[in-house]
Structure 1
Amino acid sequence: MATTFTPNVDIAVVGAGIVGVACALQLARQGQRVLLVDRQAPGMGASFGNAGHLATEQVFPIADLSILKRLPAMLMDPMGPLRLDWKYLPRALPWFTRLLLNLRPAPFRRSAAGIRALNEGSLSAWRRLLDSIGRAEMLKQDGSLLVFERAESRPAIDALQARMRQQNVEVELWQADAVRAAAPQLSEHVLGGLFFPATGHFLDPHQAVEALFDAAMAAGVQFARRDVQGGQLKADGVALRTDQGQLVVPRVLIACGAHSAHLTEALTGTRVPLDTERGYHLMLPREHNRLPFAVTSLERKFIMTPMSGGLRLAGTVEFAGLQRPANMARAWQLQRLSQGLFKRELNADAATPWMGFRPSLPDSLPIIDRVCDGRVLLAFGHQHLGLTQAAVTAEMVAGLMEARAVEGIEAYRLGRF
């Protein structure tokens, strides 16, 4: 017979990634007794291997109408920057259909407004959170750069700059000499780029999760290493079915990223159209001081972020679900993409590949909500922006827990599905 454990807590947070840990800390600081639950150690999912870029400039949905032209290449090119595994196509088709419907002008504008609203509060929320734990040095607020190498790319750069300014994103057009002055190791082939001053990067994203987790433990949060496999609502709370028996708690916050759909449906009855973008990175531990800040290539479609452990190359997207094994050739492809971007090629000795799951909804907005008479809270679906939006999401969840009015919350409600 399965054992039942009823911990002396006010809420269980399911998911110990950057969003879940930030929420657990915020809830504990407002006086809640919190149990953090995850099948892995804190920060070992997508939070471990993200690009580390605090991407406040990325205010547009994850796709635009050009995805229609790219669909054949997505299916045929296993190494392309955007890959759809043809074996996964039948399962992905309903999600992609919703994605295409959200590319119509009105839904697209709503999505951009919702992403922008979260991003505009993200940097200040991160400053408050890191200052509160005495770790402000983990985040470098030194901007980021999108470079281009071909003259024919200049119209796209100009158009993007105009679109960014329409969204009130701070952006500067840099000519080649400005790029070389800031990042002298980049190749002479770089013709210029867009600099985003109100962005930054983490020196070690996983270390950031660990620092927040330590602060959460110091604030009284408990941690249980369990695999939450299902659950149901009770008259006075929530019963969570785990690999070690049943957990009964008054409330639950679902913040387990790409794994959130099943538990959300079990507790709320809503089938959330959540899919996963499998993201890859290649970590180059022998590469230090090549770049002063995160640099993205327009044509090559990947990002390079300087970190304390070396240079991280990231940015490739693959739709293949949660079950198929990783194709680490996609991670190594990032090293090939870097060739020609620097005056001296990158050193890939002792490089390590990685793959993780980005939780994405077809309108590119997360779900941040309080449902089921306050017994269930939700904070997942941040797609590429989980790291960027974690601190501001935690502040919103804290408001929802206390049933306070949270500005702009309507855009992120579960009820939109």
Structure 2
Amino acid sequence: MANNPAHDIAVVGAGIIGVACALRLARQGLRVVVIDHRPPGHGASFGNAGHLATEQVFPIADVSILKRLPGMLLDPMGPLRLDWRYLPLALPWFTRLLLNLRAQPFDNTVAGLRALNESSLASWQRLLGDIQRSDLLKVDGSLLVYERGESRQAIETLQQRLHQQQVPVDFWQAGAIRDIAPQLSERIQGGLFFPRTGHFIDPYRVVTALVEAAKAAGACFLQQRVVGGRVQDDGVSLHTDHGPISTRRVLIACGAHSAPLTAALTGKRVPLDTERGYHLMLPHETGRLPFPVTSLERKFIMTPMTEGLRLAGTVEFAGLHKPANMQRAWQLHRLSQGLFREDLNAEAATPWMGFRPSLPDSLPVIDQVCEGKVLLAFGHQHLGLTHAAVTAEMLVQLAFPASNPVPDLPSRDRYRLTRF
């Protein structure tokens, strides 16, 4: 490798995390290159629910997962699905997951998620404001609704738990919900309103806006596949399918695909798996909802966007290589039936599946190792969009600890690679 690497930092991964970090780093004056085998924003960042989910301070799994395990294995359309053929490979990861459901690790996870969530909205407002694209984010809240009388106790228990975590939340009666979302069904009995949440009107457009700003700041983008690399005395050498790339530092931010490169550069095997998420985009459904609405019983979310209504949710554990089961995406339309006065129009709807990078303690890795030559930002599970802007600010503080500190950023103690 040459004594003068061509780049100050190479960001591996052009999803929302990598692109947000690349923009922040380029604006610090670094020579930044972003490398991905696909165009920017074409992975999980393309198809997420678009929800700025600052209210989601609890991991998706709790002790009830043990009771749900038979259903996870046997119901291919269930909201939490584990492909039984993938079970032998997933067993070590699930064992770690179960260990993290013990009281102390679980509380640590909640504290870590809460710290990131509390900073996420302000970080996004700063990031979009800096590029004059605040219009891409609407901060008008979101709803979690319930339909069955027996669900009232679950809603009240959740509200109490959220109050304990200082998450802003209000209980809304059915009448208040229908006043603001009149197209919802009379079956809705009430719900929780989260005033400090928001949604993006087009998640892919958010990525492209950040890419344009990063390019304007001097970052370049390469469509190449990184197949390996090694840390050297004067930097990092990355091996791609187009040849070697020399850089002083590397940021691994390639989501569910981050483990092999992390192992190659650091020697650390990270227990990273993927929550396969699905969505169904309904292009003829504009104006149905004013903001995201989640169903407690049906366990999916509906987010209004400029291109229609996006139905998203469900978690499937089946690895990176099994073909998508698009019936799970179409199942979202079936789940919506009965939630509205008139059923949603699924004409010309498009299904999608993407890989959410998930670690068994539900916290991301945000760290630097190898004497600062390797930075890490992955494992954000279904909160990648929510945490992208705050992660970018934390990465800048790692790379430039003395420069313009952002107040109230989370401590990175909980997000270190060394916890594994």
TM range (shorter): over 0.9
Percent of matched pairs sharing the same residue:
71
- Alpha-carbon deviations, 1:224-268, whole Å to 9, x = none? 111011111111111111111111211100000000000001111
User: Could you state the TM-score of these two structures normalised by the residue count of structure 2?
Assistant: 0.97
Partner residue in 2 for 1:74: 72
Q: What one-letter code is carried by the residue in structure 2 that aligns with 1:332?
A: W
CA distance, structure 1, for counterparts of residue 38 and residue 399 of structure 2: 25
- In 2, distance between residues paired with 1:191 and 1:160? 16
Alignment map for 1:39-54 (pairs within 5 Å): 39-54=37-52
State the 1:7 CA deviation: 5.9
- Superposition pairs for residues 15-414 of structure 1, below 5 Å? 15-404=13-402, 407-414=410-417
Classify the secondary structure of the residue corresponding to 2:319.
Answer: coil
Aligned to 2:419: 416
Quick one: distance in 2 between partners of 1:414 and 1:217? 30
1:271 is paired with a residue of what secondary structure? coil
Contact in 1 for aligned 2:115/2:410 (Cα 8 Å): no
Q: How big is the shift at 1:62?
A: 2.2
**Deviation per residue, 1:302-358 (Å, 9 max, x gap):** 000000000000001100000000000000000000000000000000000000000
Letter in 2 for 1:145: L
* 8 Å contact kept, 2:116–2:410: no
Tell me the distance in 2 between the aligned counterparts of 1:105 and 1:183.
38
1:273 alignment partner, SS class: coil
Q: Secondary structure at the match of 1:250?
A: strand
| Unaligned stretches of 5+ residues in structure 1 | none
- CA shift for structure 1 position 8: 2.4
Q: How many residues of Structure 1 are paired with residues of Structure 2 in the alignment?
A: 415
Pairwise CA distance, 1:378: 0.2
Q: Distance in 2 between matches of 1:333 and 1:81?
A: 10
Question: Could you say what secondary structure the match of 1:260 adopts?
Answer: helix
Change (3 A) 1:407 1:73: closer
Gaps (5+ residues) in structure 2?
none
User: Following the alignment from structure 1 to structure 2, what is the Cα–Cα distance between the partners of residues 98 and 407?
Assistant: 24
Contact 2:277 2:356 in 1 (8 A): yes
For residue 117 of structure 2, what is the amino acid of its counterpart? Answer: N
**2:228 & 2:84 partners in 1: Cα distance?**
30
Q: What SS does structure 2 have at the residue aligned with 1:30?
A: coil
Instruction: Determine if contact 2:53/2:198 at 8 Å carries over to the other structure.
Output: yes
**1:34 corresponds to which letter in structure 2?**
V
Q: In the TM superposition, what is the alpha-carbon distance from 1:407 to its structure 2 partner?
A: 4.6
Q: What is the alpha-carbon distance in structure 2 between the residues aligned to residue 143 and residue 337 of structure 1? A: 23
Name the CA distance, whole Å, in 2 between partners of 1:86 and 1:63: 18
Shift in alpha-carbon separation, 1:293–1:407, aligned structure 2, 3 A: closer
Amino acid in structure 1 at the alignment position of 2:262: T
TM-score w.r.t. the length of structure 1 is 0.98
Superposed CA deviations along residues 47-77 of structure 1, whole A, max 9, x for unmatched, are: 0000000000000112100100000000000
For the aligned residue pairs, the C-alpha RMSD in angstroms reads: 1.3
Measured against aligned partners, the alpha-carbon deviations of 1:184-216 in whole angstroms (never above 9, x if no partner) come to: 000000000000000000000000000000000
In 2: Cα distance, 1:191 partner to 1:62 partner: 24
